[in-house]
Homo-oligomer: A and B are copies of this chain.
Amino acid sequence: MTLRFGLIGTGRIGQVHAANIARSEEASLAWIADPFIEGARRVAETFGGTATADPEELLGSGGIDAVLVASPTPTHVELIARSIELGLPVLCEKPIDLDITRVDALRDAVRSSGVPVALGFNRRFDPGFAGVRARVAAGEIGGLEQLTIISRDPSAPPADYIAVSGGIFRDMTIHDFDMARFFLDDVVEVSATGSAVFDDGAREHGDFDTAVVTLRAASGAIATIINSRHSAVGYDQRLEAFGPLGSLSVANAPTSLISLSTAQAVEAKPPYQDFFLERYAQAYVDELHAFVRLVRGEQSSSPTFEDGRAALLLADAAQRSAVERRTVQVEPAA
């Protein structure tokens, strides 16, 4: 039986989910909601389903088995709350919210509801990162001692987005915090350093465009996250897991098998993929599949509400660390 989805939000990431739902043999697109009704209608025409401007109509339709929340961040808490009230499992884009108090206010309801709430940490489903994690778990490099995550977006967002983004740690690094937790679930200390080197928007709003975060785990393992809001070579997404027996690395995804060698330079390749929609195309497909399994009560690797909260706690700690110039202690997730 296919899972009938209600999709809320039809921006670029909503459209990716719509296409993946439509292509999946396990899912179908039943309702699409977006206050910008034109967006909802266009998705409905392309991938099927009923369009509405009102998420409430979607939630109350009786025609859906699960909700995919891809609307703006400030709406997430309310939509998750309503969905679990109605007993509808939710796959919500990250972050849950920029404000930990709002997340915590929702926490008990999620826990007591027993309704599955998954967070859209898509990178966990990337074959590269997931593969390295599985091979680390299989002991290929021994116990994990160091984790290095390089994560650079192609270009800085507009200043008015920066203004409401919650800052680089909550907006961008949040993915890297989750990736660090994917490998190390016992982080106890956060040290962050940030700079506004090139982006006027970051400078204007007291944010950073360049940042490095160090996470220490109870085990003693150390994760390092290196971020920049821009990258001339395309989306820069690398990882190295290091242990006593060696290392496992994930390289940037090539866009071509072609290399050029001349008298000026040899083995030169074209730049990397532009951004996350291309780089993580397969991850979004696998993320959806994992969520379907979660809803069905099968073994699933979907990150949970608690994972979303834990990543936000690390982001908050990093923000505090960068501003107060000190290491911040955190409770490892239960």
Q: Which residues of A contact B (CB under 8 A)?
A: 127-128, 131-132, 135, 140-141, 143, 145-146, 148, 150, 152, 189, 191, 193, 195-198, 210-212, 214, 216, 219-222, 224, 226, 228, 230, 232-234, 242, 244-254, 256-272, 325-327
Contacts and interface: CB of A to CB of B under 8 A. Distances in A.
Given A191-B325, A249-B258, 5 more contacts: A141-B260, A146-B210, A233-B247, A246-B261, A326-B326
A210 B220 contact: yes
A271 B263 contact: yes
A202 to B, nearest CB: 10
B265 A266 contact: no
Nearest to A152: B242
Contact of A263 (B226, B232, B326): B232
A259 B145 CA distance: 18
A34 to B, nearest CB: 24
Contacts of A249: 258-259, 261
Given A146-B228, A210-B145, A265-B271, A260 B248 contact: yes
Contacts of A132: 258
Contacts of A226: 146, 148, 224
Contact of A253 (B221, B257, B265): B257
A124 to B, nearest CB: 15
Contact of A266 (B140, B193, B242, B270): B270
A246 B232 contact: yes
B220 A197 contact: yes
A150 B249 CA distance: 14
A252 B246 contact: no
B145 A228 contact: yes
A139 to B, nearest CB: 12
Identical copies of this chain, number: 4
A247 B261 CA distance: 5
Contacts of A212: 146, 214, 222, 224
Contacts of A253: 257
A58 to B, nearest CB: 28
A278 to B, nearest CB: 13
Nearest to A144: B197
A257 B264 CA distance: 16
Given A197-B221, A210-B222, A219-B197, A251 B261 contact: no
Contact of A327 (B193, B221, B242): B193
A266 B259 CA distance: 10
A251 B257 contact: yes
Contacts of A244: 198, 230, 232
B250 A262 contact: no
B259 A251 contact: yes
A230 B226 CA distance: 22
A195 B221 CA distance: 7
